[in-house]
Amino acid sequence: MKVDRHGQAKILTTEEINLIFYEGVKNDRDRAMFAICLYTACRINECVTLRTTDVYYRQGIVRPEIVFRKGNTKGKLATRCIPVIEDLRLMLLNYYPSPRTWFYFPGPGQTGHICPDSASRVLRKACNKVGIQGVSTHSFRRTALTLMSDEGIPLRIIQEISGHKSLQELQKYLEVKPEQVRGAVSSLSLLSPVKKSRFPDTPISEKITPRNDNSF
């Protein structure tokens, strides 16, 4: 967890996400911004540099995929197109820059785009309001990638979404929970050479001694 901006960004729970989005964040622009970070696992710089046409068609309809242009990605490795799920689409419908701007999240005076540091300040203020610590804009990315990993999505597919240049880099993002470690260690009992005692649910039936017919 981040403490005074040191360490890894906190993995968010569903409850914490709801608190941030509906009690901490004040407007539809900021909800749309953080929703993109959460539901596409993008970096904050990739989010704030989106053009309006990367998110919407010219008719004002949300695109089926958000386009993260190669020039705005870390390392400028490749353009990524991430599908828009319904939860994200609804967030995007609530925010549309008016008048239409070149950047989806325009800066002050409708020139340029909002800077990542400004987005970070917005999030810190929202988290302070609802009493959540250790959160940064990277929390949305780490939360999304870790959730996909926990759900059994192959790492190679997650890498395609995250844009990491190697699986080794991707794995640094994924959080291992204590209960996952306990479960993994518990599974080793299958290898145990120790003979386990047997405790049947019902007592063994008494052996019936054959009756001696000569007793009559």
Lowest mean pLDDT among 12-16, 123-127, 166-170: 166-170
pLDDT digits (tens, 9 = 90+) for 47-105: 999 999 999 997 789 999 999 999 888 877 789 999 999 999 999 999 988 778 899 99
Q: Which two tokens stand for residue 133?
A: 């610590």
- When pLDDT is averaged across residues 12-39 and rounded to a whole number, the result is 96
pLDDT digits (tens, 9 = 90+) for 161-200: 998 888 887 887 777 777 867 777 777 777 766 665 555 5
> Which residues are within 8 A (CB) of 102 and not within 5 positions of it... i.e. 6 or more apart?
51, 52
pLDDT digits (tens, 9 = 90+) for 30-47: 999 999 999 999 999 999
Specify the higher pLDDT residue, 165 or 15: 15
pLDDT digits (tens, 9 = 90+) for 133-163: 999 999 999 999 999 988 888 888 889 999 8
pTM of the model: 0.78
Cα separation, 148 vs 158, in Å, equals 7
Q: Which two tokens stand for residue 216?
A: 């009559």
Match domain 14-146 to its CATH number in 3.40.50.10860, 1.10.443.10, 3.40.50.1980, 2.60.120.380: 1.10.443.10
Q: What pLDDT is attached to residue 31?
A: 97
User: Is pLDDT at 110 greater than 90 in this prediction?
Assistant: no
Q: What pLDDT is attached to residue 106?
A: 94
Specify the higher pLDDT residue, 110 or 11: 11
> Which residues are within 8 A (CB) of 57 and not within 5 positions of it... i.e. 6 or more apart?
63
Specify the higher pLDDT residue, 114 or 190: 114
C-alpha separations of 77 from 47, 72, 161 in Å:
16, 9, 13
| Confidence grade of residue 215 (pLDDT, cut at 50, 70, 90) | very low
